Amino acid sequence: MKIYNTLTKKKEDFIPLEEGKVKMYVCGPTVYNLIHIGNARPMIIFDTVRRYFEYKGYEVNYVSNFTDVDDKIIAKAVEEGISSEEVSRRYIEECKKDMAGMNVRPATVHPQATQEIDGMIEMISTLIEKGFAYPAKDGTVYFRVKMDPSYGKLSHKNLEDLQSGFRSLKVSGEDQKEDPLDFVLWKPKKEGEPFWKSPWCDGRPGWHIECSVMSKKYLGEEIDIHAGGEDLIFPHHENEIAQSECCNGKPFAHYWMHNAFLNIDNRKMSKSLGNFFTVRDIGNLYDLQVLRFFMLNAHYRSPLNFCRDTEDASKDSMEASKASLTRLREAAARLKDVLKTGEEGTLTLEEETLVKEAEGFRAKFEEAMEDDFNTADALAAVFELAKFANTHVTENSGTAFAQALYHELEELTDVLGLSLDRKEEILDEEIENLIAERQAARKAKDFARADEIRGILLDKGIQLKDTREGVKWERV
C-alpha cells in the first residue's frame, strides 16, 4: 500500500509502527456552527481510509478531535447570550448527526480540547524546561521557532522566507516576542472569556498545542498517520510537529495526508458570495449518501468543484452523483429480486467461471485503493462489477449466483461507506391521487390536463418522468 506523504512529497510504502495496527489522528472541526461541505470532505475521505485499513485486517485507533474553545465559539456565545460551553455542546451534537447522515463512523475517541487542559499545561511546562518556549511578562507563552532546526519541513518553507514575510506585517504582541516567528502556546484571558488557571496566567491554550496533546494522550508520542485539509499544513500542522517533537524527542507522525480544497462553482466557498452550503442544507435536499458519493468520485488530493445548477441538471454535481448512486442501487436491487425469486441450489460450472471473473473487479478495486486511496478508480471498478451483474444475472439465474455477486458489490461499497439500500419514500394521498389522475388523463388523450397536473406536482416539489417501465417521480 502506497500513501502520498506531504512530509516527503512522494508516495511511500505504508509500514506501520506496530504490525497489524494503525494509529491515526485527524483534525476535527471547530464547533461554533453547523459543519459545511468543506468540513465534510476530510471527514468522508479519512473515514474511507480507515475503512480500507480495517477491510485489510488492521486494527485502527482513529482519533478525531472537536475544538471546543476558540474565538469564533466565544463570539457566537456573546451573540446568543449563552456560555461557550453551551455553544460547543450544541454543535458537537449537530455535527455528530451530520456525520451519521454521511455514514462517517464515530472515531475511537472524539477528544475535546477543554477536557485536556492539564495535559496542555504539562506539555507547555516541558517545552519551557527544555528551552523551546518562554513566558512573556503578561503571561503569554511562546514557542521559540528558531530553536527547532527542522521547522518548516512539512510545509517546505524555510525560515528566511518566513522571516521576510513578517517584515511588512505588524504582528499583535510582537514587541514581547523574542522573534516575530514565535507562536502562542498559552494566552491570557480577556474579559468575559472562559479561562483556566496555569503557572503563567489565567487563560487558555493556543490552537496548535491542543492537537499535539490530544494525539499524544490517545495515540502515544509517535503515530502512523496525521491527516486533515491542506489548509492546515501551515501553520497548524507545522507547529504541531515542532511542539511534539521538541517535547517528546522523537518523530511525531510518519505519514502526513492532506485533502485538497473544495470550491463552489470554481470559487472559494464564502457566505459573502452567497455560495455557502452546510451539510444540513444538502441533507434537506438529498440523501447524504449522495454527498459522500460526490466526495469519493475524485482523488482526495485533487481540488474538487461543487456545482449547483437548478436549471441544468447535467451541470449539477449532486444530480450527477445522485444518478450514479441510483444506478448502483438499482443493480443491487435487481440482484436482491433474484435472491427472492430465483431457484435455490449450487453454482453451475458457467456461474463458477463468472464468479471467478467478477473477483477481478475486487482486485481492481484494491489496486486503486492501495495506490494512495484512489477512490475515483475504486468506484470505477465497482461500476464495472455492477454492469457485469446486470449483464449476467437474469430472472432465470439461481440464488447462489446472485448472492455471490451481491456479496462482492456490498463488501466493496461498504469499504467506501456507501449503502446499497434505496430509501423508499411514501407520498401523501393527495400526491398519489394527482399522479393517478394524470395517468388517466394521458390514457384518455387529455394531454392539456396531464400537463396541468405535471405543473401542479412540480410546484409541490415532485417531478415526474415517463419511462418505458411507467411513470416515476423524484423530489426536486
Percent of the chain, pLDDT > 70? Answer: 94
In a domain, 280, yes or no: no
Do 436 and 392 fall into the same domain?
Answer: no
Query: Residue 294: its pLDDT value, please?
Result: 97
Do 389 and 446 fall into the same domain?
Answer: no
Taking residues 399-409, report their average pLDDT: 96
In a domain, 274, yes or no: no
Do 110 and 213 fall into the same domain?
Answer: yes
Do 222 and 81 fall into the same domain?
Answer: yes
Indicate whether 311 pLDDT > 70. Answer: no
Do 91 and 50 fall into the same domain?
Answer: yes
pLDDT-derived band at 469 (thresholds 50, 70, 90) equals very low
CA distance 292 to 185: 36
155-180 burial by CB neighbour count: b if 16+ within 10 A, else e?
A: bebeeeebeeeeeeeeeeeeeebeee
Q: Check residues 431 and 376 and name the one with the higher pLDDT.
A: 376
pLDDT digits (tens, 9 = 90+) for 288-303: 999 999 999 999 999 9
CA distance 323 to 151: 47
Do 381 and 435 fall into the same domain?
Answer: no
In a domain, 395, yes or no: yes
Query: Residue 160: its pLDDT value, please?
Result: 79
What DSSP element (H or E) covers 227? strand 223-229
Query: Residue 266: its pLDDT value, please?
Result: 87
Q: Which of 371, 390, 415 is the last residue of a domain?
A: 415
Do 87 and 217 fall into the same domain?
Answer: yes
422's grid cell: 434505496
From the list 372, 302, 5, the residue with the least C-alpha distance to 153 is 5
pLDDT digits (tens, 9 = 90+) for 181-212: 999 999 999 998 999 999 999 999 999 999 99
Cα 74 to its chain centre, rounded Å, is: 25
Query: Residue 426: its pLDDT value, please?
Result: 57
Average predicted confidence (pLDDT) for the chain: 92
Indicate whether 225 pLDDT > 90. Answer: yes
Lowest-pLDDT range of 32-46, 159-173, 408-422: 159-173
Indicate whether 96 pLDDT > 80. Answer: yes
Q: Domain holding 375: CATH number?
A: 1.20.120.640
In a domain, 269, yes or no: no
Do 212 and 338 fall into the same domain?
Answer: no
Do 323 and 367 fall into the same domain?
Answer: yes
Taking residues 438-453, report their average pLDDT: 90
Query: Residue 31: its pLDDT value, please?
Result: 96
Indicate whether 172 pLDDT > 60. Answer: no
Do 434 and 466 fall into the same domain?
Answer: yes
In a domain, 273, yes or no: no
Do 339 and 246 fall into the same domain?
Answer: no
Residues of the domain holding 438: 429-475
Mark residue 3 as left, alpha or beta (left: phi above 0; alpha: psi -120 to 50; beta: remaining). beta
Model pTM score = 0.87
Taking residues 469-473, report their average pLDDT: 67
CA distance 392 to 188: 69
Q: Check residues 236 and 476 and name the one with the higher pLDDT.
A: 236
In a domain, 97, yes or no: yes
The answer to whether the beta carbons of residues 22 and 56 sit under 8 Å apart is no
Query: Residue 377: its pLDDT value, please?
Result: 98
CA distance 351 to 126: 66
pLDDT-derived band at 420 (thresholds 50, 70, 90) equals very high
Q: Domain holding 163: CATH number?
A: 3.40.50.620
In a domain, 444, yes or no: yes
Q: Which of 244, 259, 274 is the last residue of a domain?
A: 259
Lowest-pLDDT range of 217-221, 241-245, 271-275: 271-275
pLDDT digits (tens, 9 = 90+) for 14-61: 999 999 999 999 999 999 999 999 999 999 999 999 999 999 999 999
In a domain, 298, yes or no: no
CA distance 252 to 255: 9
Indicate whether 417 pLDDT > 80. Answer: yes
Q: How many domains does the chain have?
A: 3
Cα 351 to its chain centre, rounded Å, is: 39
Q: In what order do the strands lie in the sheet with 183-188?
A: 133-135, 141-143, 183-188, 203-205
Taking residues 124-150, report their average pLDDT: 97
Do 46 and 89 fall into the same domain?
Answer: yes
Lowest-pLDDT range of 91-95, 109-113, 139-143, 337-341: 337-341
End-to-end Cα spacing for the chain: 42
Indicate whether 424 pLDDT > 60. Answer: no
Q: Which of 222, 237, 259 is the last residue of a domain?
A: 259
pLDDT-derived band at 166 (thresholds 50, 70, 90) equals low
